[in-house]
């Protein structure tokens, strides 16, 4: 079921309107769509490496706006939010997520927004749990920007030969980024 959709999104990456479609896919993926924008971002950066940062910015901005929609679905349209979470196999996980948010707070958003876990799970759940909205938006900007700019940087630097590695080990790349981010924040906190 997902393969034809994946192929269609990949085909859009080669179209003249690719930046617009990248924005649309990034927006939709943060609230309802199952295919991650990396599928479009990677070939777009391969084709035009000089526009890597522009493409990463488009994906980031659209993803954050889509995340706000996901948050709103969780906050105001809970039956729709439950249906989306059910579709992605997380309908019964609200209490688990509540525990994570109570224990780790914003780190749930920062960590999950970088990983292959569908970001819509985080956005909708944040709305369900009425997580602090300004903090949610700030974390979404950091985590989505981190993810898309890492992908763009790797592809710009290493070219097409890195795509299979990124697809296979994206979770590890993003985990390394989270470790560096947390380490940097802690270092600044203790050194200041």
| Residue count (the chain) | 192
pLDDT tier at 1, thresholds 50, 70, 90: very low
Distance CA 110, CA 148 (A): 13
**Count of structural domains, the chain:** 1
Q: How sure is the predictor about 63, in pLDDT bands with cuts at 50, 70 and 90?
A: very high
When pLDDT is averaged across residues 9-33 and rounded to a whole number, the result is 81
DSSP assignment of 118-131 equals -HHHHHHHHHHTT-
pLDDT at 126 over 80: yes
Q: What is the pLDDT of residues 75-87, one digit of tens each?
A: 999 888 888 888 7
- What gap in Å lies between CA 10 and CA 47, rounded to an integer? 13
State the SS3 of 47-75.
HCHHHHHHHHHHHHHHHHHHHHHHHHHHH
Q: What is the pTM of this model?
A: 0.76
Range of the domain at 156: 2-191
Q: CA distances (Å), 97 to each of 75, 108, 116, 125, in order?
A: 15, 9, 17, 7
Q: Is the pLDDT of residue 132 over 90?
A: yes
Going by pLDDT thresholds of 50, 70 and 90, the confidence category of residue 31 is confident
Contact 85, 93 (CB under 8 A): yes
Average pLDDT, the chain: 80
How far is CA 3 from its chain centroid?
20
Rounded Cα gap, residues 131 and 128, in angstroms? 8
What percent of the chain shows pLDDT beyond 90?
A: 27
Residue 80 vs residue 163, higher pLDDT: 80
């Amino acid at each position: 079921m997902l393969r034809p959709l994946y192929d269609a999104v990949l085909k859009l990456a080669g179209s003249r309107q690719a930046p617009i479609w990248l924005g649309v896919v990034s927006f939709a993926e943060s609230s309802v769509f199952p295919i991650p924008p990396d599928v479009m971002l990677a070939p777009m950066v391969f084709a035009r490496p000089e526009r890597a940062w522009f493409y990463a910015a488009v994906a980031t901005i659209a993803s954050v706006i889509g995340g706000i929609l996901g948050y709103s679905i969780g906050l105001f349209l809970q039956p729709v939010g439950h249906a989306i979470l059910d579709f992605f196999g997380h309908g019964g996980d609200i209490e688990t997520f509540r525990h994570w948010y109570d224990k780790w707070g914003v780190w749930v958003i920062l960590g999950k927004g970088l990983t292959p876990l569908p970001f819509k799970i985080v956005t909708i759940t944040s709305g369900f749990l009425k997580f602090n909205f300004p903090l949610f938006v700030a974390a979404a900007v950091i985590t989505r920007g981190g993810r898309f700019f890492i992908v763009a940087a790797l592809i710009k630097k290493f070219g097409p030969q890195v795509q299979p590695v990124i697809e296979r080990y994206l979770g590890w790349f993003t985990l390394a980024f989270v470790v560096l981010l947390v380490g940097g924040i802690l270092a600044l906190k203790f050194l200041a």
